[in-house]
Amino acid sequence: MNTKKKYIQLSLFLSIIIFIQLLTYFTGCEYHLTQLTMSAYYCLLIIGLCLLMGYAGQISIGHAGFFAIGGYISAFLTTYDLSQYKDKTILILFSKIGAALFRQDLYGGKVLNFHPWAAALIAIILTIIIAILIGSPVLKLKGHYLAMATLGFGIIVYRIVLGTEKFGAADGISDIPPFPLLFGIEVNGKPVMRVWNYYISWSIVFITMTFLINLINSRVGRALYAIHGAEDASRAMGVDTREYKLKTFVLSAVLASVGGIFLTHYNGGIGPSEASVIKSVKYVAIVAIGGMANLWGSLVMGLILNFLSLRGYFGTYDDAVFGAILIIIMLFAPEGLLKVKLFDFIKYVSFRSKKSV
Amino acid sequence: MSLLEVKNLYKSFGGLQAVCDVSFNVQDGMIKALIGPNGAGKTTLFNLISGVLKPDRGEIFFNGLPIHSIPQYKIASYGIARTFQHIRLFPKMTSLENIMIGRHTHTKAGFISCMLSLPFTWKEEKLVREKSMELMKFLGVSELASIDALSLSYGQQRIVELARALACEPKLLLLDEPAAGLNMRETREMGEFISKIREMGITVLLVEHDMSLVMKISDEVLVLSYGQKIAEDNPLSIQKNKEVIRVYLGE
Amino acid sequence: MNTQLFFQYFVAGVTYGAIYAIVAIGFNIIYNTTGIINFAQGEFVMLGAMTAVTLNNFIPLPVAIILAVIITIIIGALIEILFIRWLVSPSVLRMIIITIGLSIVIREVALHIWGDGIYALPYFTGTALKTLSVGGVFISPQILWVLGICSITVIILNLYFKYTLMGRKMRACASNRSAARLCGINAKNMVTLSFMLSAGIGAIAGCIVSPITYVQYDSGTPLAIKGFTVAIFGGLGNSMAAVVAGLILGILESFSIWLMPTAFKDVISISILLFILFVKPSGIFGNKEALNLKEF
């Protein structure tokens, strides 16, 4: 793809972000920005998953696990009271460099927590380590084995966060402090900060999108596509398929984790449902509807479907809607919404009826 | 000097001895053909040299370096490129993009530099594109550059696959039945390409069933039967070799 | 630990193991004829049990179970005909996603029909309080029912595949679909049949186990994961090995309660799944070459 097209797409994206904000401002439904902001953080995971599934061709039904790892670790570190350890050398060191700090809790007591930035850094590093540990054996697998292994990983994360008292078990973790950025701006869910947070979240998506678009139009993206198409031939051309798959897996895991970290600070809490299998399946569904190897398609679908889902338009049928979407898309349009394959079905039906006549 | 040295190679699948004690050399700058009846172990031998399979016993040296125990993807960076018996082009990519993959080992932009789109990656990308177009021109298929590789005709796909292997700038080119499925005119053209490639200084090792092509272009012929080497000589002597005639025609 | 407690855990492990084995056989039947893993296998188990519970309100238990199995078989056939049959050489990825979608939709439909309540069939004989004491070990009569019906199912299936024409046709499709088609076997019907068989087996498993484990709209997925673990453990497609693997997993899981809180019981079996996938994806009884021949 030429650079001109890239800039047109990116600037179009930027104008849509601004347009949506203005639209909510003038129509007086600025409260929609809350769900739009949350969608942005989910979109971060979705475009990462799109890179992994669509471009490198490796399915993952466990990405909610990475989202939860990011969210839970940063939530835990920023809320767990470390006061009892405050005399340990390492903590004194942490306090000195500002990685750990005292703050007031809800009841006015003084608690010692990790600074959100330090917590986020630790969460990302842990995500990378886990992704490498899981990814290196898992990515040797193909097809059903890969799908089941990633699904298994997702369930393990879910069970662990659900069964661990320190992570709040079924209630999750709440009262998470805001994530401070520059000039007193912070990632939190307060209505005064709503517009700010909308732009913060979508800026993160915008930057990530720019990086990923660059990536897929480069030597690396070409190699990923080659791995997807014919793994043996790409190895014969000198592509280290193991390394490329692993790096893509780690990259997508980090994006999921970052999404989890910011959403947790934005919501002020996280619960085990973020790690559930159905969430992972939803992400796969969105990438599939977007057209698999289509970053923009996944992003648009991620925005629309997450927004509708978060606003509760699907009511109690939320999960069923995503399940149905998955089936319908995969039956009639495995290449995404734009390339509909109704033809196969019609051919089959008409052939059948002719035969029976 | 021998570019490729194969020493006492063994490979078996279950109870089947596919390659048994095969040794041979390929001299720098020659075209060597590998022939033999179906199931003689030619493709297995090819897969062993290109690292797809690992030998049970024996050694392979390329330019004096052992290559029988290194991962498959590193073989290409040593200077060995191959084509496949059943064409393995990358689907949903244009011919040009397919050939550009061939430049993989000669470029080095990684994940981070590609994501940041650092200026050196642009230069690299431009060079890759130019070099690949050059190759397409050389093989006379430059008009196919922007066409989806899998929608090309069979003969064109073979040529694109050849261009992809050449894009690696190999010292040794392994061609697995380059004329399979081609008509007579295309086969003749393929023979001309192979001779031209040798003139560029690239050593060629090929498996081929088309005897007239083999006899016309190759400098040396190696005959395999049931996994064993039964003859190695120049084409003329091979044609007269009793053992070879027995294997091909029966007694 | 005393011997008595040991046997208590052992018996519980064997009971669960038998169920896992049955679910794994359901996976294998579909995998053998189609080369796909039906991610909705666990939902057949749930549907069978749920339908039986509802029917049991109106009709006697044996009739309710038989009817529930038949209904699940019909659902299995419908699923195959509507969603699988007409696809032209679908990719593995597509099939995975379709069956995952199906499992979610079935689960959600079940949620809307039965709500999120917990149901159970009554004990087939006796009650929960009545146990048989065998050498000091207390065994619920339902456990005998589970073991008995599981063994009978495995034996009947084996006889079916070995000695009946239909069974042989299905095996022919399993080993080479196009060759089977050339011999005049309608491969598509065999696929439908395999879905029906595996739905039926799943429903039986659901009915016999529900008095012990209870059933809820979402109890399919954990069972499916364990069934899959067992199927992989024994080597995908190998039903007799699945029985052995099922018993091993059931017993391991049962004893794992000593080491870890019950909340992590699933973590154990999934870790076993991951471990097998990483170390020997062909299963304990499978060989590597056979695995490479399977298309992915």
Q: In the prediction, which pLDDT does A357 show?
A: 39
d(CA C271, CA C279): 12
Q: CA nearest C85 in A: which residue?
A: A348
**Contact across the interface for A229 and B92, Cβ inside 8 Å:** yes
**Contact across the interface for B73 and A239, Cβ inside 8 Å:** yes
**Contact across the interface for C271 and A156, Cβ inside 8 Å:** yes
- pLDDT of residue A353 exceeding 60: no
A96: part of which helix (H) or strand (E)? helix A89-96
A193 CB within 8 Å of a chain B CB: no
B206: part of which helix (H) or strand (E)? strand B203-207
Q: In the prediction, which pLDDT does C295 show?
A: 34
Q: CA nearest B102 in A: which residue?
A: A237
- pLDDT of residue C165 exceeding 60: yes
**Contact across the interface for B101 and A293, Cβ inside 8 Å:** no
In chain C, residues with a C-beta closer than 8 Å to the C-beta of A151 are: 225
- pLDDT of residue C292 exceeding 50: no
Q: CA nearest B174 in A: which residue?
A: A236
What is the band of A2 on the pLDDT scale with cuts at 50, 70, 90? low
Q: Which domains does chain B have, with CATH numbers?
A: 1-79+170-251 (3.40.50.300), 89-167 (no CATH)
Selected residue of A140, A327, A355 to mutate for chain C interface (largest C Cβ count, 10 A): A327
Average pLDDT taken over every residue of chain C: 83
User: By C-alpha distance, which of B3, B36, B32 is closest to B229?
Assistant: B36
Q: Where are the domains of chain A?
A: 3-287
Distance (Å) from the alpha carbon of B57 to chain A's nearest alpha carbon: 22
Count other Cβ atoms within 10 Å, centred on residue B179: 24
* Rounded mean pLDDT, C279-284: 72
Q: Hey, which residues 96-155 in chain B have their CB within 8 Å of chain A?
A: 97, 100-102, 104-105, 107, 109-111, 114-117, 121, 124-125, 128
- pLDDT of residue A125 exceeding 90: yes
What is the band of A105 on the pLDDT scale with cuts at 50, 70, 90? low
What is the band of A106 on the pLDDT scale with cuts at 50, 70, 90? low
- pLDDT of residue C288 exceeding 60: no
Q: In the prediction, which pLDDT does A263 show?
A: 92
For residue range A225-245, what is the model confidence (pLDDT) as tens digits? 999 888 889 999 989 999 999
Q: In the prediction, which pLDDT does A145 show?
A: 84
What is the band of C6 on the pLDDT scale with cuts at 50, 70, 90? confident
Q: In the prediction, which pLDDT does C210 show?
A: 87
Using CB atoms, list chains with 3+ pairs below 8 Å to chain A: B, C
Q: In the prediction, which pLDDT does C294 show?
A: 39
Look up the CATH number of domain C3-293.
1.10.3470
**Contact across the interface for C277 and A148, Cβ inside 8 Å:** yes
Q: In the prediction, which pLDDT does C289 show?
A: 43
For residue range A250-308, what is the model confidence (pLDDT) as tens digits? 999 999 999 999 999 998 889 888 888 888 988 988 888 888 888 888 888 888 888 88
**Contact across the interface for A317 and C37, Cβ inside 8 Å:** no
Q: In the prediction, which pLDDT does C284 show?
A: 66
For residue range B18-51, what is the model confidence (pLDDT) as tens digits? 888 889 999 888 999 998 888 788 888 888 998 8
**Contact across the interface for A235 and B101, Cβ inside 8 Å:** no
**Contact across the interface for B52 and A236, Cβ inside 8 Å:** yes
What is the band of A346 on the pLDDT scale with cuts at 50, 70, 90? low
ipTM: 0.88
Q: In the prediction, which pLDDT does C291 show?
A: 43
**Contact across the interface for C296 and A316, Cβ inside 8 Å:** no
- pLDDT of residue A136 exceeding 50: yes
Judge whether C90 and C197 are in contact, CB under 8 Å.
no
d(CA C34, CA C195): 10
- HSE on the CB side for C89, CA within 13 Å? 4
Q: Hey, which residues 292-321 in chain A have their CB within 8 Å of chain B?
A: 293
The beta-carbon contacts of B227-234 under 8 Å, at least 24 apart in sequence, are B227/B17, B227/B18, B227/B19, B227/B20, B227/B22, B227/B40, B227/B41, B227/B44, B228/B20, B228/B21, B228/B22, B229/B21, B229/B22, B229/B23, B229/B24, B232/B24
**What is the number of CB-based contacts under 8 A between chain A and chain B?**
95
Q: Dihedral sign for Cα B100, B103, B104, B109, please.
A: negative
What is the band of C73 on the pLDDT scale with cuts at 50, 70, 90? very high
Nearest to C267 among A147, A156, A323 (CB): A156
- pLDDT of residue A87 exceeding 50: yes
- pLDDT of residue A337 exceeding 70: no
Judge whether A206 and A13 are in contact, CB under 8 Å.
yes
C86 CB within 8 Å of a chain A CB: yes
A343-347, B129-133, C143-147, C207-211 — which is least confidently predicted? A343-347
A45-49, A284-288, B100-104, C261-265 — which is least confidently predicted? C261-265
d(CA B160, CA C124): 69
Q: In the prediction, which pLDDT does C199 show?
A: 94
User: By C-alpha distance, which of B8, B47, B52, B21 is closest to B228?
Assistant: B21
What is the band of A354 on the pLDDT scale with cuts at 50, 70, 90? low
Judge whether A63 and A256 are in contact, CB under 8 Å.
yes
Q: In the prediction, which pLDDT does C296 show?
A: 31
**Contact across the interface for A281 and C94, Cβ inside 8 Å:** no
